[in-house]
Structure 1
Amino acid sequence: MPMVTVSISPLQAADIRAAVDNGTYASSSEVVREALRMWEAARKLGGCPEGAFDQSGVSRGGKCVADMFADHEAENRHTV
């Protein structure tokens, strides 16, 4: 599998570690792959328009991948 290096915030890194530590995901890579699948699905559905976030990463409104990911996490907590 190709390797890609990305920079994330300390909070994002902590959230990924927490998802692995609590057993929701088997690895950090699994968390990121899930997020990318959701991002791709949102793009295909038109749910994540270009310019949805400002330069600091703050949402300009509407539901996008971060919201979808949070919803997915909440659903998993209820079904597991």
Structure 2
Amino acid sequence: MPMVTVSISPLQAADIRAAIDDGTYVSSSEVVREALRLWDAARKVDGLQGQRDCAPADAKCVADMFADHEHRRSA
């Protein structure tokens, strides 16, 4: 599997660590893979190819989709 290095904020790193610590995810790689799957789905479903923010008022950005997903997972 190819290795990719990315930079994330300290808050993002803490959130990933918290998700692992509470058992929601097994590893940080699992978190990133799921985030990329959601990003890919958002691009395909909502036509967000190439957009980096929530440009259309009625479209959800990936961060919103991920937050919705996490909320459903924890319910």
- Which digits, 9 at most, give the CA deviation of each residue in 1:42-64, with x for residues without a partner? 001125354443xxxxx555411
CA separation of 1:26/1:45 partners in 2, compared to 1, >3 Å: closer, same or farther? Answer: same
Q: Does 1:64 align with 2:64?
A: no
Is the contact between residue 47 and residue 63 of structure 1 (CA under 8 Å) also seen in structure 2?
no
Letter in 1 for 2:63: A
Task: Give me the TM-score of the superposition, normalised by structure 1.
Answer: 0.80
CA separation of 1:71/1:3 partners in 2, compared to 1, >3 Å: closer, same or farther? Answer: same
Give ranges in structure 2 of 5+ residues lacking alignment: none
| RMSD (Å) for aligned C-alpha atoms | 1.6
Task: Give me the TM-score of the superposition, normalised by structure 2.
Answer: 0.84
2-side partners of 1:71 and 1:6: how far apart? 24
Report how many aligned residue pairs link the two structures: 73
